[in-house]
Amino acid sequence: MVDFCSNDYLGFSRSDELKILFQTELKNYPEYHLGSGGSRLLAGNHSFTENLEHQIAIFHDSESALIYNSGFDANIGLFSSLPQRGDTIISDEFIHASIIDGIRLSHANRFVFRHNDLINLEQKLKLAKGKIFIVVESVYSMDGDEAPLQEIISLADKYNAAVIVDEAHAVGIFGASGKGLVYDLGLSNKVFARIITFGKALGTHGAAILGSSQLKAYLINFSRSLIYTTAAPFLNHLAIKCAYTYLKSKDHQSEIRERIDSFTKNISLDVKLLKSRSAIQIIVIPGNEKAREAAQRIQKGGFDSRAILSPSVAKGSERLRICLHNHNSIDEIKNLCELLNRIV
């Protein structure tokens, strides 16, 4: 089936050019080890990884970057260690499961505000005690829409709160060379921390937390999902380095934008398409049975798109999640739209 399902938005995980770049680079390290040998606090730390962190920080306009084995690990490590007892974390109701689990491991109070609802966020801010952390995704994984970052930061200033942004689905798509939405909006210095992941548009695996050097030093000492796990192998970090080189080498963003535009233009106005500028496009088909049936018919037509059912999303908002990629041709996108218009 044609891939309208994976998070490989820029087609990096399958790119022959990137594979060649990786194989060529690998020749410079004939003595590499297959495994890292331990935690980054013991045998698993390498100057290659530290240099990579430095380059990633510069690219995303951050003081520092700390690499984790995955986005899940990064969120667990950050939210379980940073907010203390008596502090307050206020998160959007649609926040990713890894953040929810991280918050559950912390001793801080937790408030949830309605999705992208600034009035509701302010109500929660008024109730918050201790140090306050507001947590959002710049692009939401199950809706494809964006957080109103500028307005959230203004509110955070008013209540002296720190803003943390998960950029898993924005990196590679938004900002010059895919630096992310925070960078694109000129807010790099206004957010306390960003989580970026490498398993989506970067086509590899892993993640990093971007923030101050002080935050990095704190996490190295207190973030358990960094300390008590074997570091990812060199090959993984080399792949991340090559993915960044490839990201900078050409304008992948125009290609994905053309595909997103083609999709939104070719979908009929009768189809309930959520508003999204991202590579994630959502068609709401209420009811698990109906959503599942629509997905099956799309798949029979040769297109891989999956239904997202309740309770993963709220009852009545079941949906088809369509991810667009640079490896989708414009014709494939038009054919998918034609089928969707007929079926939905």
Residue 135 or 344: the one with the smaller Cβ distance to ligand PLP is 135
Residue nearest to ligand PLP (CB): 71
Q: How far is CA 25 from CA 21, 28, 72, 177, in A?
A: 6, 6, 28, 21
Distances (CA, A) of 178 to 173, 213, 253, 268: 5, 23, 7, 29
CB 78 within 8 A of CB 224: no
Selected range binding ligand PLP among 66-74, 241-249, 251-259, 275-283, rule: CB under 6 A: 66-74
Token representation of residue 270: 């009768």
178 is a site residue for ligand PLP (CB under 6 A) = no
Indicate whether 108 belongs to the interface with ligand PLP (CB under 6 A): no
> Is-contact 71 202, C-beta < 8 A?
no
> For residues 92 and 46, is the Cβ–Cβ distance under 8 A?
no
Where does this chain touch ligand PLP (CB under 6 A) — which range of 9-17, 68-76, 122-130, 230-238?
68-76
Q: Are 188 and 196 in contact (CB under 8 A)?
A: no
Considering CB under 6 A, how many residues would be counted as binding ligand PLP?
13
Indicate whether 83 belongs to the interface with ligand PLP (CB under 6 A).
no
Phi, psi of 234 (to 5 degrees): -50, -45
Q: How far, in Å, CA of 70 to CA of 194, rounded?
A: 14
Structure tokens at 288: 């698990």
- Report if residue 166 touches ligand PLP, rule: CB under 6 A: yes
Nearer Cβ to ligand PLP (91/262): 91
Residue from 137, 143, 145, 332 binding ligand PLP (CB under 6 A): 137
The tokens of 202 are what? 């970067």
Contact between 318 and ligand PLP by CB under 6 A: the answer reads: no
Q: Which of 13, 15, 197, 305 binds ligand PLP (CB under 6 A)?
A: 197
Residue 238, SS3 per DSSP:
helix
Q: Is residue 80 involved in binding ligand PLP (CB under 6 A)?
A: no
Among the listed residues 59, 65, 71, 164, the single contact to ligand PLP using CB under 6 A: 71
Interaction site with ligand PLP (CB under 6 A): 70-72, 75, 96, 98, 137, 141, 166, 168, 197, 199, 207
